Chains A and B, each alone.
Chain A
Amino acid sequence: MTDAIDDVVIVGAGASGAAVAWRLARAGLKVTCLEQGDWVRYDEVPSFRTDWEVARQTSHHPNPNVRRNPVDYPVDDSEAAIKPFLYNAVGGSTILWGAHFPRFRPSDFRVKTLDGVGDDWPISYEDLAPYYEENDRMMGVSGLAGDPGNPPRLARQMPPVPLGRGAEKMAGAFDRLGWHWWPCDVAINSQPYGEGRGGCNNCGPCDLGCPSGARSSSDVTYWPQAIGAGAKLITGARAFEVETDSEGRATGVAYYDRDGAAQRHRAHVVILAANGLGTARLMLLSQSKRFPNGIANDTDLVGRRLMHHPTGMVTGTFDEAVDGYAGPFAVSILCQHFYETDAARGFVRGYQMQLVRSNGPVGTAVGGYLPRVPWGEGHHETFRNTFARTASLTVTTEDLPRLDNRVTLSDSLRDAWGIPAPKMTYSLDQNTKEMIEHGIKSATRAFNEAGAVAVTAERLVVNAGFHLLGTACMGSDADASVVDGDCRAHSVPNLLVVDGSVFTTSAALNPTPTIQAVALRAADRLLAARRGVEVAA
């Protein structure tokens, strides 16, 4: 690697792009990151206003097709049973996230060997364990060591966030049923931690941005340190092609700047971190003589094997207030009693149940956890009986990879600069449907045990496409995967993919700690191998 051009150019400044930029810049590499969004300002987050819930339905809606902010790209979801949720900014989708921070279990990396489905990852839990620990330290985790549902780990940086009355009821119910439960690991400061980051004051809507920085997002954790170590971050930069030489080696990235002018950023190594949707889109856009179907796509696997975490939602209504609008909305406790395969249940793999708190008045009325409050006579009575009285359990299932579930380029939709939008084609398989049914029965039992006066189930939460996985999958076999265990493209030696696209299988847990651990490990592997990495002449 020489000084004439950058060592590394990264596309995407979200969870994974930030982690990899920090690691490589700290090792002394010349790193530039291209991000199409901007920095978020925390002095003007909507939760300072009484109309904060309007922002959730408009400017801060997680679906870019509803949000339609100028920096967003649209997604063709006309053939997708689950709608895309993501954010475009420094920090990526962690700007909106709930910060639930579980690790995958060891078995999640071996589903083919253990259960005969999907594929094994080329790396194991043990390979990632030190990177999970390092990532925890960087993001800051509140939680409790000693969970019998997971391998031992170091003490968390901070004690768990307050559980709230809903979680206390459910914890008692799980105990009486003899089921596993544990306080969630969360990337939220239960007390001040990290540079200039305060403690959580339980305001509720983490998805609108956390003014004290208590809720971790990669713009307040990794990025300040990455920039301090010399990384350069260019915002308002929309990548539209990974450029290659005649041998198919990456030479850099072409992008449109804020004014719509085409620019080129050259580097010895290109790293894609634009998430499971954005990375697949960019790879498919990067067509050349060597790669007529998109870069590193000789196997036609780029964009395929799209996985979410199909989710059912079960809500219990209590006859007293449980004040679920208070506390970080997405996190308190989780139950992994039905996580591992049990042949007697009639499906393979399993699910987690994550207790989510509840909504403000608008969120209660428009529905989400519960159906929409009906209009007309009786509207207010229903509102009064549900507002502040509910808690919900997600039934978050493991999605197995299927070739037909995929990201392609849309024929009809383009973004503001004319770049074709990604199209998601996605449906659920029978195994998943059965898992959700089982989960609904389990969650209903738990709410009944907890004394809920009404229990309502939603069989599939359509608006839950926040985990975008698998579209440039990792594997040892170059004919059956896109990247190797170190995240390097099999057919482009100096191209890495480090976001959730590389997941071989999805597990049934929120993916970001694993995405970031994989990214940190990929950075280390690149550093170890870098003199041997074949770069463009």
Chain B
Amino acid sequence: MTSIDRTSLAVLLDRMIPGDADFPPPSRIELADAMVTHERFGAMAEAMIAALPADFSTRPKEAQIAVVESVEREKAAVFDPFVVALYSLYYVHPTVLAAVERASGYAARAPQPEGYALKRFDPAIVAVPASRGPQYRDAGTGSSS
């Protein structure tokens, strides 16, 4: 990928995930670099850049958004895997996970080995359905309702 393409990619990523008070824009966490060097996602970035006009990065913001909307509409086979690549890399970045933790309480760590504490099953909860009679149909083969 040329340096012009990399610039386009970085601009594109920021258009797609604009940062806000909690979350960083992709450029702040150097997501374009992570994407082009990724074993699987690199090809998706290449394909997406190939679908953009060469002067994408220098067009006005509204024009850039219109271009991305048209790729989304007309080239789903390129766009959809690209979005998966983008969201996948963005939402596993430590800075973003920390932002998710601040916003939701979801711990910015791997699921294992700690797992999560959940309240044990309490049989009292089935009182209503357990009070009902059989609700399955007689198949005439030995079991009946």
Contact = CB atoms under 8 A, between A and B. Distances in A.
A193 interface: no
Contacts of B29: none
Nearest to B125: A171
B90 to A, nearest CB: 8
Given A106-B141, A163-B121, A384 B103 contact: yes
A33 B90 CA distance: 43
Interface stretch (A46-54, A73-81, A440-448): A46-54
B109 A50 contact: yes
Given A51-B92, A203-B116, A379-B17, A107 B136 contact: yes
A3 interface: no
Contacts of B128: 175
B60 to A, nearest CB: 15
Given A362-B88, A379-B17, A106 B121 contact: no
B84 interface: yes
A161 B91 contact: no
Interface in A100-136: 105-107, 109-110, 113-114, 124-126
Nearest to A115: B137
B100 interface: yes
Contacts of A126: 141-143
A159 B65 CA distance: 53
Contacts of A372: 83, 87
B29 to A, nearest CB: 13
- Interface size class on chain A is 35 or more
A13 interface: no
Interface string B115-145: 1111111010110111011111111111100
Q: Interface on chain A toward B: helix, strand, loop, or mixed SS?
A: loop
Interface string A145-184: 0111111000000011111100010010011000011110
Given A326-B118, A362-B91, A387-B104, A109 B40 contact: no
A47 B113 CA distance: 8
A361 B130 contact: no
Contacts of A379: 16-18
A491 interface: no
A54 B91 CA distance: 9
A384 B100 CA distance: 8
Contacts of A182: 126, 129
A105 B104 contact: no
B16 A45 contact: no
A340 B136 contact: yes
A164 B118 contact: yes
Given A50-B109, A327-B118, A375-B68, A340 B22 contact: no
Interface of B: 15-18, 20, 22-23, 40, 65, 68, 83-85, 87-92, 94, 96-97, 100, 103-106, 108-121, 123, 125-126, 128-130, 132-143
Given A107-B139, A377-B18, 13 more contacts: A52-B111, A161-B121, A162-B118, A163-B125, A201-B114, A321-B104, A323-B116, A360-B111, A361-B97, A365-B87, A366-B83, A375-B16, A375-B68
19 contacts: A52-B110, A53-B88, A53-B91, A106-B139, A107-B138, A107-B139, A125-B141, A126-B142, A148-B129, A151-B136, A161-B121, A163-B121, A201-B116, A205-B111, A211-B112, A365-B90, A366-B83, A373-B87, A376-B68
